[in-house]
Amino acid sequence: MQDTGTSDAFVAFERVQKSYDGETLVVKDLNLSLPKGEFLTMLGPSGSGKTTCLMMLAGFETATHGEIKLDGVSINNIPPHKRGIGMVFQNYALFPHMTVAENLSFPLEVRKIGKSDREAKVKRALDMVEMGAFGGRRPAQLSGGQQQRIALARALVFEPELVLMDEPLGALDKQLREKMQFEITDLAHRLGITVVYVTHDQTEALTMSDRVAVFNDGRIQQLAPPDQLYEQPENSFVAQFIGENNTLEGTVAEIKGDHCVVKLDGGEVIDAKPVNVTKVGERTRVSIRPERVEYNKERLQEGAHTLKAKVLEFIYMGDIFRTRLEVAGNREFVIKTRNAPDQVRLTPGSEIEIGWLPEDCRALDAN
């Protein structure tokens, strides 16, 4: 699943490949385009090619094949410092011997901007990240969150139209990371800048992005807005990588338009939506999200498909109950239900019936 529409793209990868040894491709024939003002996240496991793509766009790596364009102009042969791109890294990359204000002033000096203009831009950038009172401090006198704000301000100080972020929040604790996610997204949208953000954290990607490109094995597996990515995964890798997911393995017994019948390996027969299965006899992994499964009979909708299940574990998590079940031979089948006054609390060892709507059950590839 790749994006080939580059006619009105602000950033465009056109048939880009990258190999470090001349044999193995770490990025394989990438076509990807972003309109101006989009917040796009490249998401994937280690070694999937996402960071290599970011580094090629920044100019720190060169494409083995293909073209990378910025606002319609090829930047393959333009050095990094002449691309006009802001960068934010996980390790902040602040100069320890300089004050905060000097760190922000540095990229402006490189661009030969006059002193009075520099001071005005530094003040504006610090105010943007609510660090206006910290200009005289050195990085070592700041907390991790404050250093990350300064790194963000430095990337924005020369008013770039494109900012690249490589795992910028990875070193922060959970609460601060979540706060910074909202701050960065809000700032990007207010300034109208284009952001390409790299992370391996799926929650971060879903929270922050206009669209997410899910990478694996050097290719984009799916490119879509967060809700579509979660609700409508196009293959087994995306279904498993994005959010928590239940899978049941079986064989396609029948296909009729937007409906198929799957015979599970344990003998049970269920209905599903055929996503990338095309013929009878094909192996499939059926995907169902935990929150789409119901065990309270009063809440089962008309047309719901039901299966027998055994309760293995029932965990109270405050706002939700998380139940682990044995379903059709799978002992890691999970249900998440909202903590409500009328919600039944289950007992480990009990046998129950669970159900879901066929359209919430997706027959995907068996890989």
- Where do the structural domains in the chain lie, given as residue ranges? 11-236, 244-364
Residues 114-151: tens digit of each pLDDT = 989 999 999 999 998 888 999 999 999 998 888 888 98
So what's the pLDDT on residue 295?
Answer: 87
For the cut 70, the answer to whether the pLDDT of residue 4 exceeds it is: no
Model confidence, pTM: 0.89
- 31-67 per-position pLDDT tens digit: 999 999 999 999 999 999 999 999 999 999 999 999 9
Q: Please give the Cα distance from 214 to 224 (Å, whole number).
A: 9
What separation in angstroms does the CA of 204 have from each of 44, 212, 227, 242?
12, 11, 13, 11
pLDDT at 6: 54
- The answer to whether 69 and 11 have CB atoms below 8 angstroms apart is yes
For the ranges 11-15, 194-198, 304-308, the lowest mean pLDDT is seen at: 304-308
- Per DSSP, the residues of 329-345 read TEEEEEEEEE--TTPPP
Burial of 55 (0-12, 13-18, 19+ CB in 10 A): middle
The CATH number that domain 11-236 falls under is 3.40.50.300
Span 175-198, mean pLDDT? 91
Q: Quick one: angle between helices 115-128 and 100-110, nearest 10? A: 130
Q: Are 173 and 141 in contact (CB under 8 A)?
A: no
In degrees, to the nearest 5, what angle opens at C-alpha 20 toward C-alphas 15 and 26? 50
User: What is the CATH T-level fold of the domain 244-364, as seen in this structure?
Assistant: OB fold (Dihydrolipoamide Acetyltransferase, E2P) (2.40.50)
Whether the per-residue pLDDT at 5 is higher than 90: the answer is no
Q: Are 200 and 44 in contact (CB under 8 A)?
A: yes
Write down the pLDDT at residue 93.
79
> Is the predicted pLDDT of residue 292 greater than 90, yes or no?
yes
Question: Do 158 and 86 meet the contact criterion of CB atoms below 8 Å apart?
Answer: yes
pLDDT digits (tens, 9 = 90+) for 150-168: 989 989 888 899 999 999 8
271: closest CA among 360, 365, 332, 354? Answer: 360
Distance, CA of 238 to CA of 232 (rounded, Å):
9
State the average pLDDT over residues 295-311: 82
* 176: pLDDT strictly greater than 90: no
